[in-house]
């Protein structure tokens, strides 16, 4: 084969690979690929289903197979990964206003948070720092009912019940909440949680029921209190380099697929909310509601954290958006 023919063949192969890559969308997430039990997987499959019949194909990469949070953020920023379902902490490490998602006892319901996040001002403020990094913030995805209290030792129905328990914390914000409620905590990586609890390093954690179920932790975390600490969410991050390279028609298809993924997630959440207690009890978990007046005590104890967790300007933004959503 002469030199010109070789170059033409190589160019054609390169073009073919580029076109194939352009049509493939990778979705990465922390959770397992189980739409029945995972709000992340439900979103991913709802998104993928909406693109059937288009030139796009969707590949779902569960269980951190494309890397941990920081690695996936870098991949989305550089255009190597099209869509990532990131932890709220990953999102607010870049866009501090999103720390508001974890304000303890601030939100009345998931529906209220949805209304707040539909406000243009909130989305613009949340999106700007991420867009500077090459990431489009496409909204929030729920991974289950709001955060509750799991522990391996005893039923918890009062603030006083927390005093002799030590919890695994995801980050300093959770640690501050545990201490504000009169308990103790220690930051432990998720991969080490099961061993930490089974060896007594920690007695439990603050998480939605879905985390204990998909993590296989219900065998030893046999007590749960639905305290509704704050919503359990993931941030939907889209590569701006990739999205901007699409035609107007293709962007419309992606926008519609993102909306379909969110609708699938909300439908799953509604069903999950009605079934979760029965599922926990089938797995041997004892559910203990807070005694009358105890959640009000917790709110009073945790409220001082609100204006330390976010800036005064951001807290005012959340407060105004919450008032508008009521």
The verdict on 200 and 294 lying in the same domain is: yes
Average pLDDT over residues 231-258: 97
The verdict on 174 and 26 lying in the same domain is: no
Residue 25, beta-bridge partner list = 58
The verdict on 137 and 201 lying in the same domain is: no
The residue length of the chain stands at 326
Give pLDDT tens digits for 72-130. Answer: 999 999 999 999 999 999 999 999 999 999 999 999 999 999 999 999 999 999 999 99
Residue 236, beta-bridge partner list = 85
The verdict on 54 and 194 lying in the same domain is: no
The verdict on 121 and 161 lying in the same domain is: no
Say how far apart CA 161 and CA 302 lie, in whole Å. 16
The verdict on 127 and 255 lying in the same domain is: yes
Are β-strands 166-169 and 204-207 bridged in parallel, bridged antiparallel, or unpaired?
parallel
The verdict on 185 and 102 lying in the same domain is: no
Question: What spatial distance separates the first Cα and last Cα of the chain, rounded to whole Å?
Answer: 72
The verdict on 100 and 249 lying in the same domain is: yes
Domain that holds residue 73: 15-143+234-276
Burial 277-292 (b: 16+ CB within 10 A, else e): eeebeebebebbebee
Residue 3, classified by CB atoms within 10 Å of its CB into exposed (0-12), middle (13-18) or buried (19+), is exposed
pLDDT at 148 over 60: yes
pLDDT at 154 over 60: yes
Q: Would you say 38 and 6 are in contact if contact means Cβ atoms under 8 Å apart? A: no
The verdict on 268 and 137 lying in the same domain is: yes
Give pLDDT tens digits for 164-207. Answer: 999 999 989 999 999 999 999 999 988 899 999 999 999 999 99
CATH number (domain holding residue 201): 3.40.190.170
Report the number of distinct structural domains present in the chain.
2
Mean pLDDT of the chain: 92
pLDDT at 22 over 90: no
Q: What is the 3-state secondary structure (H, E, C) of 188-257?
A: CCHHHHHHHHHCCCCCEEEECHHHHHHCCCCCCCCEEECCCCCCCEEEEEEEHHHHHHCCHHHHHHHHHH
The verdict on 88 and 28 lying in the same domain is: yes
Asked if residue 1 is part of any domain, the answer here is no
């Amino acid at each position: 084969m002469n030199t010109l023919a070789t170059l033409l063949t190589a160019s054609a192969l390169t073009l073919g690979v580029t076109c194939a890559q352009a049509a493939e969308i990778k979705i990465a997430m922390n959770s397992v690929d189980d739409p029945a039990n995972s709000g992340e997987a439900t979103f991913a499959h709802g998104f993928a289903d909406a693109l059937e019949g288009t030139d796009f194909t969707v590949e779902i990469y569960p269980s951190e197979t494309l890397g941990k949070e920081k690695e996936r953020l870098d991949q989305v920023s550089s255009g190597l990964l099209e869509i990532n379902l990131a932890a709220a902490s990953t999102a607010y490490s870049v866009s501090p206003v999103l720390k508001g998602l974890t304000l303890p006892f601030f939100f009345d319901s998931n529906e209220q948070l949805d209304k707040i996040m539909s406000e243009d001002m909130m989305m613009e403020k949340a999106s700007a720092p991420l867009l500077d990094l090459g990431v489009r913030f496409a909204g929030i995805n729920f991974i289950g009912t709001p955060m509750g209290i799991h522990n391996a030792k005893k039923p918890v129905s009062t603030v006083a019940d927390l005093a002799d328990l030590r919890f695994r914390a995801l980050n300093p914000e959770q640690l501050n909440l545990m201490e504000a409620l009169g308990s103790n905590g220690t930051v432990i990586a998720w991969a080490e949680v099961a061993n930490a609890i089974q060896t007594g390093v920690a007695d439990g954690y603050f998480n939605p029921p879905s985390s204990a179920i998909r993590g296989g932790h219900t065998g030893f975390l046999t007590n749960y209190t639905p305290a509704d600490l704050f919503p359990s969410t993931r941030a939907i991050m889209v590569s701006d380099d990739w999205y901007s390279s699409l035609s107007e028609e293709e962007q419309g298809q992606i926008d519609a697929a993102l909306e379909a993924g969110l609708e699938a997630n909300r439908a799953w959440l509604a069903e999950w909310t009605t079934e979760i207690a029965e599922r926990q009890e089938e797995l041997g978990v004892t559910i203990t509601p807070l005694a009358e007046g105890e959640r009000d005590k917790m709110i009073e104890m945790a409220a001082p954290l609100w204006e330390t967790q976010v800036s005064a300007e951001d807290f005012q933004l959340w407060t105004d958006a919450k008032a508008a959503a009521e």
